Amino acid sequence: MTIAFIAHDGKKAEMVGFVKDYVELFKSKNITLIATGTTGSHLERAGLEVNKMASGPMGGDAQIASRIAEGSVDMVIFFRDPLGKHPHEVDVSMLMRLCDVYNIPLATNPAAAQRFVQTL
């Protein structure tokens, strides 16, 4: 199973806190983690092995979206900041649309992410 992690700047600390609650699960040999660049760096500091893409504004969201279209992502955990402005909003919208097109579970907040992870 491949899980993609993305977090807007204002949500990165919240993402790290969430990941720490499930660190042993995410370290499982059956789970591969990918993330946008900066989010991935934060997850590495939390003790996880992560395949990092570019940062979101530099195309990381699009890289993950591409992997969704290729069928190589099983779940996306994306802590978004709905109140902030993001220069790469077009990529964010594309990624979320592709999750719907390809029927990929997408958690955009900690409550949804917790429910998804509990099913693993």
| Residue 38, CA distances (Å) to 8, 16, 29, 30 in order | 9, 12, 23, 24
Q: Which two tokens stand for residue 49?
A: 């092995």
List, in order of start, the domains of the chain with CATH numbers.
2-118 (3.40.50.1380)
Model pLDDT, residue 50: 96
- Mind listing the pLDDT tens digit for each residue in 68-117? 999 999 999 999 987 766 666 777 889 999 999 999 999 999 999 999 99
Residues of the chain above pLDDT 70, percent: 96
Which one of 9, 21, 61, 74 is the catalytic residue? Answer: 61
Q: Which residues in the chain belong to E strands, given as ranges?
A: 2-7, 32-35, 51-52, 75-79, 106-107
Active site residue 61: yes
**Torsion sign over Cα 85, 86, 89, 92:** negative
CA distance 63 to 30: 22
Work out the percent of the chain whose per-residue pLDDT is above 90: 78
